[in-house]
Amino acid sequence: MNAKRSARGMTLIDVVVGVSIMVIVFFAIFGAFRLAIDLVFSTKAKTGAVALVTEQMEYIRSLGYDSVGTVGGIPAGPIVQVQQKALNGIPYTITTLVQYVDDPADGTGNADTNHITADYKIVKVTADWLIRTSPRTTFAVTKIAPHGIETLGNGGTLRVNVFDALTASVSGATVRIINASTNPTIDVSVDTSSAGSVEFPGAPAAGGYQVTVTKPGYSTAQTYSATAGNPNPNPGHVAVVNKQTSTISFAIDTLASLSVASWNPIASGSFTDPFTGVSQLSATSSTVVSGSSLRLEGSAPTYPANGTAMSVAIAPAYLANWSSLSWHASTSASASALVSLYYLTSNGYALVPQNDLPGNSAGFSASPVDLSALLVATYPDLRIGAALSTSDPSITPEILDWTLSYTAGPTPLPNVAFSLRGTKTIGTTGGGASIYKMSGSYATDQYAQWATSTLEWDTYVLTLPSGSPYTIIEQCPDALSLSPAGSVSQSLTLVNAVANSLRLSVLGNGNPLQNASITVIGGSTNVSGSTSSCGQAFFALPSGSYTVTISAAGYQTDIENAVSVSGSSVLSVSLAPL
């Protein structure tokens, strides 16, 4: 037996197992080899970075105290702030930051006992490089003190504080200082500390310090120049006074998102077949379309006793409600036409159940049939069916037309232009009008959508531009209040432009109040309505003055007198609970 097994040699399974083991071993060796190469390259790159940082530090230590500074920095000097260098074929970015330090040993800022806030200098040299697209960095820091007693002929301290919407300190924000009026000019960037602040002791006494604060994923804050368009900027550029501390604070926070969708309102629609052809029919049996009617096939006196027909599928987009089924028919005592409704199931089309549509199983002979009780979620797709019969072969019943009515919407309304502005200001015009930090013109796209994720936390106002072909009848939610990292979706429901209108927004306990009753009376006008699920109601009215009464169960009735309507007027009301 053993001899026979030995003679068989290796089986296919043996080969597969052997090859698999070899592949596993190969990939393990290859992975280890690749890891070793990466480790060697990473170590080589790190060694080069340390060498470049050390070289830069030695150069800085060779300079006199007064010469230790950067081009465009505070203090100023011959050292280039950012340099691109290569070593062993590896590119590096070498960044040098020199700052004065206000040592607390003799007081800081205006409390400094000798009024010299530039006690010594601190130098930080950073090297940045990439390993397979992954960023790497190393740095070195040193202090450089004057040889004798600290001196500073001129200059003050510029302190920048950065906090968020809740006044918590923001660390790691980049503060950029630019001043083209100094000699040499200043352009330096420093990140805020864990306390959310950064100081520039030794800043030359001058006006016009431009300050910009940024952080990835955050809003931006800055000072502004006085211009013809903004003659009264707020905040304006900062002035540094000799031997004084100038402090300015900024608020930044994570960016928020806003999406806007534009819609046509809910409107009536219908499917109608006048039987001018068979394109609106999905199936027929012993029936034919002839002479603008649906009838039994054949001719007198040989009409068949029975025949059926069924419409194509009726599934309106954005269906809101089914309304009614109606038709016109020619029948007699011996020739009848019964109409029924079918809905889509997993097994095809079946009769709408008797419980949901009484009389449907037997078929309807009288038009119209009320369909308002049919749930759209259950019956989004219907077909109309006909059953024709005659007891006299010389007579055929006829259906002249049939109609299935519904309401659909809101439906997308693409390419709607709108204006958006925040409430934060950056100054005023010569006449005292506010200049807003964020103000722009936008439009929804071909899909009736617009979105951004770069808005600062603020309360925003969305309006239609002058001359817009539309009027807003519902803006939901009515208020656009964006919190840091927040997200708001607003829908605009619009109609063709109305010369004068009133849109009401009703709140109860701070929330949109649905089904509040509205009465608007003025002149010969007396109209009423109720608020939508968004707590809003819209009325197209002649221009003039109106009395508006708002009431809702559980709330005190509110009467607004002398409500002026001119153009697109908006009235917001908050009802007090009983």
CB proximity list for 422: less than 8 A, separation 6 or greater: 436, 437, 438, 439, 455, 456, 458, 459, 460, 461
pLDDT at 154 > cutoff 80: no
pLDDT at 148 > cutoff 60: no
What is the biggest distance separating any 2 CA atoms in the chain, rounded to whole angstroms?
Answer: 128
The position carrying tokens 């000799």 is 242
- Is 53 within 8 Å of 140 (Cβ atoms)? yes
pLDDT at 10 > cutoff 90: no
Beta-carbon count within 10 A of 63 CB = 14
Per CATH, which fold does 498-578 belong to? Answer: Immunoglobulin-like (2.60.40)
Using a pLDDT cut of 70, give the percent of the chain over it: 92
Instruction: Report residue 533 as tokens.
Output: 């699920």
pLDDT at 398 > cutoff 80: yes
Beta-carbon count within 10 A of 176 CB = 15
Task: Note the pLDDT of residue 230.
Answer: 95
Task: Note the pLDDT of residue 271.
Answer: 98
Which strand ranges, in their side-by-side order, compose the sheet holding 544-551? 525-530, 517-522, 544-551, 558-565
CB neighbour class for 201 (10 Å; exposed up to 12, middle 13-18, buried from 19): buried
**What average pLDDT does the segment 343-370 reach?**
97
Q: Is the pTM of this model over 0.95?
A: no
**What average pLDDT does the segment 392-399 reach?**
96
- Is 149 within 8 Å of 155 (Cβ atoms)? no
Over residues 38-96, the pLDDT tens digits come to 666 688 888 888 889 998 988 998 888 888 989 999 889 999 999 999 988 889 999 99
- Is 418 within 8 Å of 376 (Cβ atoms)? no
DSSP element (H, E) containing 18: helix 12-61
Q: Say how far apart CA 551 and CA 558 lie, in whole Å.
A: 6
Instruction: Report residue 487 as tokens.
Output: 């997200």
Task: Note the pLDDT of residue 468.
Answer: 97
**What average pLDDT does the segment 213-223 reach?**
98
C-alpha 453, offset from chain centre: 5
More confident residue, 132 or 32: 132
* Lowest mean pLDDT segment, chosen from 99-108, 313-322, 345-354: 99-108
DSSP element (H, E) containing 320: strand 319-330
Write the CA distances from 531 to 318, 343, 518, 543, integer angstroms: 21, 33, 8, 22
Write the CA distances from 375 to 330, 340, 497, integer angstroms: 31, 17, 33
- Res. 482 pLDDT band, cuts 50 70 90: very high
Query: Which amino acid is it at 560?
Result: E
Whether 274-401 shares its CATH topology with 498-578 is answered no
Query: Which amino acid is it at 219?
Result: S
- Res. 337 pLDDT band, cuts 50 70 90: very high
User: Into which CATH architecture does domain 153-253 fall?
Assistant: Sandwich (2.60)
Q: What is the CB-side half-sphere exposure of residue 503 using CA atoms within 13 A?
A: 21
Query: Where are the chain's structural domains?
Result: 12-148, 153-253, 274-401, 498-578
CATH number of 274-401: 2.60.120
- Tabulate helix, strand, coil % of the chain (nearest 5): 10, 50, 40
Query: Which amino acid is it at 157?
Result: T
